[in-house]
Amino acid sequence: MATQSTLSASRALNRQDYQTLSLSALGGALEFYDFIIFVFFAVIVGDHFFPADIPEWLRQFQTFGIFAAGYLARPLGGIIMAHFGDLIGRKRMFTLSILLMALPTLLIGLLPTYAQIGMAAPLLLLLLRILQGAAIGGEVPGAWVFVAEHVPSHRIGLGCGILTAGLTAGILLGSLVATALKTNLSPEAVASWGWRLAFVLGGLFGILAMYLRRWLHETPVFAELQARKALAAELPLKSVLREHKASVLLSMLLTWLLSAAIVVLILMAPTYLQKSFNVAPAEAMQANSLAIICLTLGCVLVGRIIDAMGSGLTFLLGSCGLALATWWFFDGLQQGGEQLFMQYALVGAFVGIVGAVPFVMVQAFPPVVRFSGLSFSYNVAYAIFGGVTPMLVTLWMKEEVMAPAYYVMGLCALGAVIGLFLLLQSRRALRLQASAV
């Protein structure tokens, strides 16, 4: 059985590769829908699960705080599932994460409100959100590792890009469901019971995703490690923290960029458009759906680009483009938002740079501890940056309406610096290789 390192560098993606990519991406989309549908109904959820007599900004702050709890719970679930993923198999953990996501999503849709059970309502909501976070903590890094270890080495960028596009398609599915509900139901109906349909539907999506994962096979890389009895001899995370500190730091910084782009520009933007820029709810969701379509396509395109150009130039140019598009988008909103759809579509396309992040991370760690290294770095960073970002930007916007743009542009500067570092590192490696020959 060949490992990824022995696969022919010229081999094209075959039928089995495409089956793995399509099933992984579709399953990831359905599970990611479950995780993010919360944010599209954040305003309504805040109205139902917190007292009616508190200030609007405080209700929104508390609602995003519960949303952030899902991110804070990601490291625990991710580390545990990654540990067993490095020891007993990628596929088993890849399937388990589905069940841990579907049940809490279904229960959120059935949860009594603050008016019915008082403080127990937000506490139960918080608990279910934590369970969702634990599930997604194993899903995302597990999916990237699973796909990267199936495709040929010269197509890792495309494989990760397609998988990331699948995850973002889950956001699109959430946006489309929210748009359909808010367009076809009256505001009163959505606020009363319509929002619950989105969560119940998510539970059904989770069951479908779990069924789809039955057709996937263990990765060739893990299968050979298992056959050679070359699995980690000690706690995988212990090895990661002792021997791969630089890879952990690089992965965490890239995750910070990814979280800024996704959380601020995609997940939180519909709420900002409505609350801070007076965009009608239906129009905000329609524009968001268009941006996510462009994001999904952008992830695939970036995956192809990074295979051809390398990670350095991809991050350098992509980060600069995202910074410019973000400024134009928010400046346009201040001017009245006459070009909302075109500007938001361009932002979505440049957010596709997130499709390049897993390409760097899966190659930063050796196969024996890859799942644990990637999962620890990604989930801890996302817990910190993804969890704090909604509250930080919401508070900052009380003083500065352009706060989301400034925050994202600051992270784009970091992305450009990382791109320059990766470019120099690649050129140094080529010089060493040439001198050795």
Residue type, 185: L
**Is 274 a member of any domain?**
yes
**Is 135 a member of any domain?**
yes
**Is 356 a member of any domain?**
yes
Pick from 6-15, 53-62, 111-120, 243-252: least confident: 6-15
> What pLDDT does 329 receive?
95
Give the C-alpha distances (Å, rounded to integers) separating 347 from 260, 325, 354: 13, 5, 12
**Is 301 a member of any domain?**
yes
Count structural domains, the chain.
1
Give 61 or 185, the one with higher predicted confidence: 185
| 308 has a pLDDT exceeding 60 | yes
Rounded to the nearest 10°, the torsion over CA 294, 298, 299, 302 is 180
**Is 435 a member of any domain?**
no
pLDDT tens-digit map of 231-281: 555 677 888 888 899 999 999 999 999 999 998 999 888 888 988 888 888
> What pLDDT does 70 receive?
74
| 352 has a pLDDT exceeding 80 | yes
* pLDDT band for position 223 (cuts 50, 70, 90): low
> What pLDDT does 233 receive?
53
**Is 3 a member of any domain?**
no
Backbone angles phi, psi at 219, to 5 degrees: -70, 145
| 333 has a pLDDT exceeding 60 | yes
Q: What is the DSSP letter of 154?
A: G
User: Which pTM does this prediction carry?
Assistant: 0.81
Q: Hey, how many other C-beta atoms are within 10 angstroms of the C-beta on 431?
A: 10
> What pLDDT does 298 receive?
96
> What pLDDT does 303 receive?
94
In which domain, by residue range, is 36 found? 23-429
> What is the spatial distance between Cα 170 and Cα 181, in angstroms, rounded to a whole number?
17
For residue 82, give both structure tokens: 């990654």
pLDDT tens-digit map of 174-218: 878 888 888 888 888 988 888 899 999 988 888 887 777 777 666
* pLDDT band for position 305 (cuts 50, 70, 90): very high
**Is 12 a member of any domain?**
no
* pLDDT band for position 386 (cuts 50, 70, 90): confident
* pLDDT band for position 147 (cuts 50, 70, 90): confident
> What pLDDT does 2 receive?
41
> What is the spatial distance between Cα 47 and Cα 107, in angstroms, rounded to a whole number?
18
Pick from 70-79, 165-174, 300-309, 382-391: least confident: 70-79
**Is 6 a member of any domain?**
no
State the CATH number of the domain containing residue 363.
1.20.1250.20
